[in-house]
């Protein structure tokens, strides 16, 4: 294995991890949305080269087109190195994924799997010494036009878990998402059936407030969201992933219950910090607070410079194109559009609130919240045998 990588930055814009050494070239072909916020429907062809060695390109079907990509791998505590990690499963149905190799003692192996329709980074985080693993923020596919639930994204995670022989002990949610449906319950069911070991579904202890609020709003029967999570984490509660120590960090702002999960020198921060060229997550949902998000963001940026912040979403802008799962604390302190060093709370709150006022409602808002307060369990069938979700009508000024 080589231990050096040439650095060359091509067509990615200026905001990228400064601690990386990776050569990336990208070109685009119109295909489908990677970036809902930009309102574009595009996909991409990504070529990632590690020099002088490299993993072979993998080609995968992507709506009858091809994505070419290479796996990139890195030591989770030091800069990227050239140990090429073959992605064990082909990319299918528009899901790009990157595998990593863990290395130093006390640090995890991290698999970041990007779900393109909702711009969500899903993670499988494993202890290499025991193969114990957790899955963070898995996506359940939902087609709002066909009203169809499918499990392609989750099945890709299951395949990865199987190929790596991981034992999944926990499925972790950072919060009740408003833009995608969680696959937590589906995965729990499938993993239990396949391995005879039921992983717990965990979330922050304040989820009850969120469940109550949206349960009432969407007329979800209380018994369908009561006791659906197996573990409610206290602030700063520690737990184990095999021999690794993980910590639940309360990071309110996007939602009041929001957690990040710190594992070694990595924080899976959900919807708090996004890539530096996007900045931060919106704060205009019920219980959200730009003031709280500023404090949560600065809490993350008070961690040591080398700590990696793994984001819950990415919506790559035109000048970057490639979704990126992480940046270091130092990168964010220097480059984050909303929270870099020197930006005051008042300035942040003003920018955040101005931006939030212009954002459209998430495309899957109503469906997501009704499924996610149930921890991904489906609504109980009606007498007619249908599983129903409610969608509020927007009547505006119409009355009769």
Interface ranges with Fe ion (CB under 5 A) = 177, 271
Nearer to Fe ion, 23 or 258 (CB): 258
CA–CA gap between residue 68 and residue 96 (Å, rounded): 10
CA–CA gap between residue 187 and residue 55 (Å, rounded): 30
Min dist. Cβ of residue 43 to Fe ion (A): 23
Min dist. Cβ of residue 175 to Fe ion (A): 6
Report the b/e string of 185-212 with b at 16+ CB within 10 A. Answer: bbbbebbeeeeeeebbbbbbbbbbebbe
Min dist. Cβ of residue 283 to Fe ion (A): 11
Nearer to Fe ion, 49 or 292 (CB): 292
Minimal CA–CA distance to 311: which of 354, 261, 352? 261
Min dist. Cβ of residue 358 to Fe ion (A): 18
Nearer to Fe ion, 264 or 325 (CB): 325
Min dist. Cβ of residue 145 to Fe ion (A): 22
Sheet harboring 43-49: ordered strands across?
8-9, 23-29, 43-49
Nearer to Fe ion, 69 or 250 (CB): 250
Handedness of CA 123, 249, 266, 36 (dihedral sign): positive
Nearer to Fe ion, 286 or 381 (CB): 286
Which residue number has the CB closest to Fe ion? 271
CA–CA gap between residue 42 and residue 65 (Å, rounded): 12
Handedness of CA 96, 280, 394, 370 (dihedral sign): positive
CA–CA gap between residue 323 and residue 97 (Å, rounded): 10
Nearer to Fe ion, 47 or 217 (CB): 217
Min dist. Cβ of residue 314 to Fe ion (A): 13
Nearer to Fe ion, 154 or 161 (CB): 154
CA–CA gap between residue 275 and residue 231 (Å, rounded): 29
Min dist. Cβ of residue 338 to Fe ion (A): 16
CA–CA gap between residue 316 and residue 332 (Å, rounded): 16
Min dist. Cβ of residue 137 to Fe ion (A): 9
Handedness of CA 90, 92, 96, 97 (dihedral sign): negative
CA–CA gap between residue 280 and residue 290 (Å, rounded): 10
Nearer to Fe ion, 117 or 177 (CB): 177
């Amino acid at each position: 294995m080589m231990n050096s990588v040439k650095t060359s930055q091509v067509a990615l814009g200026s905001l990228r991890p400064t601690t990386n050494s990776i050569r990336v070239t990208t070109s685009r072909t119109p295909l489908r949305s990677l970036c809902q916020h930009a309102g574009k429907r595009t996909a991409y062809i990504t070529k990632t080269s590690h020099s002088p060695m490299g993993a072979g390109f993998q080609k995968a079907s992507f709506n009858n087109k091809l994505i070419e990509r290479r796996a990139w791998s890195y030591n989770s505590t030091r800069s990227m190195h050239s140990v090429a990690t073959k992605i064990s499963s082909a990319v299918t149905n528009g899901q790009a994924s990157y595998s990593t190799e863990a290395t130093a003692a006390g640090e995890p192996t991290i698999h970041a799997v990007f779900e393109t329709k909702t711009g969500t980074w899903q993670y499988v985080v494993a202890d290499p010494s025991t193969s114990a693993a957790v899955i963070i923020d898995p996506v359940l596919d939902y087609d709002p036009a066909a009203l169809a639930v499918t499990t392609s994204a989750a099945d890709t995670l299951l395949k990865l878990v199987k190929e790596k022989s991981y034992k999944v002990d926990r499925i972790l949610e950072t919060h009740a998402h408003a833009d995608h449906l969680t696959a937590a319950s589906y995965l729990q069911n499938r993993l239990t059936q396949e391995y005879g070991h039921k992983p717990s579904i965990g979330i922050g202890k304040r989820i009850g407030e969120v469940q109550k609020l949206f349960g009432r709003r969407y007329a979800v029967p209380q018994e369908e969201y009561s006791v659906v999570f197996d573990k409610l984490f206290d602030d700063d509660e520690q737990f184990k992933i095999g021999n690794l120590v993980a910590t639940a960090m309360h990071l309110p702002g996007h939602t009041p219950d929001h957690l990040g999960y710190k594992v070694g020198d990595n924080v899976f921060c959900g919807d708090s910090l996004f890539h530096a060229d996007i900045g931060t997550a919106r704060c205009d949902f019920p219980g959200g607070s730009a003031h709280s998000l500023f404090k949560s963001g600065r809490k993350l940026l008070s961690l040591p410079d080398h700590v990696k912040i793994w984001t819950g979403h990415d919506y790559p802008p035109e000048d970057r194109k490639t979704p990126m799962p992480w940046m270091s604390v130092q990168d964010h302190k220097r480059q984050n559009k909303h929270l870099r060093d020197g930006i005051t709370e008042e300035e942040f709150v003003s920018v955040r609130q101005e931006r939030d006022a212009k954002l459209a409602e998430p495309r899957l808002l109503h469906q997501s919240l009704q499924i996610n307060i149930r921890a991904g369990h489906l609504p109980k069938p009606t007498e007619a045998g249908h599983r129903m979700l409610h969608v509020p009508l927007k009547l505006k000024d119409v009355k009769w």
